Structure 1
Amino acid sequence: MELSRNAMKITASATLEIDSKAKKMKADGIDVVGFGAGEPDFDTPSFIIDAAKKALDEGKTRYTPASGVLELKEAICNKFKKDNSLDYNSKQIIVCNGAKHALYNIFQAILNPGDEVIIPSPYWLSYPEMVKMAGGIPVFVETKKEDQFKVNYDDLTSVITSHTKAMILNSPNNPTGSVYKIDELKMIADLAVKNKFFVVSDEIYEEILYDGTKHISIASLNSQIKDQTLVVNGLSKSFAMTGWRIGYVAGREDIISVMSNIQSHSTSNPNSIAQYASITALKGPKESVKKAVSEFDKRRKYIYNRINSIVGLSTVMPKGAFYIMLDVSQLIGKNYKGKTITGSTSFSNLLLDAQNVAVVPGIAFGIDSAVRLSYATSMDNIIKGMDRIEAFVKELD
Structure 2
Amino acid sequence: MATDERAGAARGPRSRISTRIAGIKPSATLAVDAKAKALKAEGRPVIGFGAGQPDFPTPDYVVEAAAAAVRERANHGYTAAAGLPELREAIAAKTLRDSDYPVQSSQVLVTNGGKQAVYSAFATIVDPGDEVLLLAPYWTTYPESITLAGGVPVQVTADESTGYLVTVEQLEAARTERTKVLLFNSPSNPTGAVYPRALIEEIGRWALEHGIWVITDEIYEHLVYDGVQSVSLPVVVPEMAEQTIVLNGVAKTYSMTGWRVGWMVGPQDVIKAASSYQSHLCGNVANVSQRAALAAVAGPLDAVAEMRASFDARRKKIVSMLSAIPGIECPTPEGAFYAYPSVKALLGKEIRGERPADTVALADLILREAEVAVVPGEAFGTPGYFRFSYALAEADLVEGVTRVANLLGEAR
Tell me the TM-score range normalised by the shorter chain. Answer: over 0.9
Q: Cα deviation per residue 1:96-147 (whole Å; 9 max; x = unaligned)?
A: 0011101111111111110000001100001000000011100000112121
SS at match of 1:94: strand
- 2:118 pairs with 1:108: no
- 2:174 pairs with 1:159: yes
Select the residue among 145, 160, 163 that pairs with 1:130: 145
Give, as a single letter, the amino acid of the residue that structure 1 aligns with 2:63.
I
Q: CA deviation at 1:18?
A: 4.8
Q: 1:177-256 residue pairs with structure 2 within 5 A? A: 177-256=192-271
Q: CA deviation at 1:333?
A: 1.1
SS at match of 1:300: helix
2:4 — aligned with what? none
Distance 1:156 1:203 in 2: 20
Q: CA deviation at 1:87?
A: 1.4
Q: CA deviation at 1:21?
A: 4.1
Q: CA deviation at 1:280?
A: 1.3
- Are 1:37 and 1:377, in contact at CA under 8 Å, matched by a contact in 2? no
- 2:279 pairs with 1:264: yes
Give, as a single letter, the amino acid of the residue that structure 1 aligns with 2:160.
K
Q: CA deviation at 1:14?
A: 4.3
Q: 1:91-102 residue pairs with structure 2 within 5 A? A: 91-102=106-117
Q: CA deviation at 1:15?
A: 5.3
TM-score, normalising length from structure 1?
0.97
Select the residue among 68, 73, 91 that pairs with 1:54: 68
- 2:395 pairs with 1:380: yes
Give, as a single letter, the amino acid of the residue that structure 1 aligns with 2:373.
A
2:9 — aligned with what? none
TM-score, normalising length from structure 2?
0.94
- Are 1:198 and 1:228, in contact at CA under 8 Å, matched by a contact in 2? yes
Flag the 1:21–1:96 CA change in 2: closer, same or farther, 3 A. Answer: closer
Flag the 1:17–1:211 CA change in 2: closer, same or farther, 3 A. Answer: closer
Q: CA deviation at 1:84?
A: 1.2
Distance 2:195 2:384 in 1: 23
Give, as a single letter, the amino acid of the residue that structure 2 aligns with 1:8.
A
2:51 — aligned with what? 37
Give, as a single letter, the amino acid of the residue that structure 1 aligns with 2:246.
V
Distance 1:179 1:337 in 2: 38
- Counting aligned pairs with the same residue, the percent is 39
2:88 — aligned with what? 73
User: Where does structure 1 lack aligned partners over 5 or more consecutive residues?
Assistant: none
1:11 — aligned with what? 25
Q: CA deviation at 1:8?
A: 2.6
Give, as a single letter, the amino acid of the residue that structure 2 aligns with 1:43.
P
Distance 1:17 1:40 in 2: 18
- Are 2:349 and 2:355, in contact at CA under 8 Å, matched by a contact in 1? yes
Flag the 1:235–1:354 CA change in 2: closer, same or farther, 3 A. Answer: same
Q: CA deviation at 1:17?
A: 6.4
Distance 2:54 2:30 in 1: 21
Q: CA deviation at 1:385?
A: 0.6
Select the residue among 301, 305, 308 that pairs with 1:290: 305
SS at match of 2:65: helix
1:171 — aligned with what? 186
Distance 1:220 1:15 in 2: 32
- Are 1:33 and 1:385, in contact at CA under 8 Å, matched by a contact in 2? yes
C-alpha root-mean-square deviation of aligned residues, in Å? 1.3
Distance 1:360 1:324 in 2: 11
- Are 2:33 and 2:48, in contact at CA under 8 Å, matched by a contact in 1? no
Distance 1:19 1:202 in 2: 23
Give, as a single letter, the amino acid of the residue that structure 2 aligns with 1:241.
M
1:330 — aligned with what? 345
Give, as a single letter, the amino acid of the residue that structure 2 aligns with 1:204.
I
Q: CA deviation at 1:199?
A: 0.4
Give, as a single letter, the amino acid of the residue that structure 1 aligns with 2:366.
L
SS at match of 1:391: helix
> How many residues end up aligned between the 2 structures?
397
Q: CA deviation at 1:25?
A: 2.1
Q: CA deviation at 1:19?
A: 4.6
- 2:83 pairs with 1:83: no
Larger radius of gyration: 2
Q: Cα deviation per residue 1:270-302 (whole Å; 9 max; x = unaligned)?
A: 010111121111111211110000000000000
SS at match of 2:187: coil
Q: CA deviation at 1:20?
A: 5.0
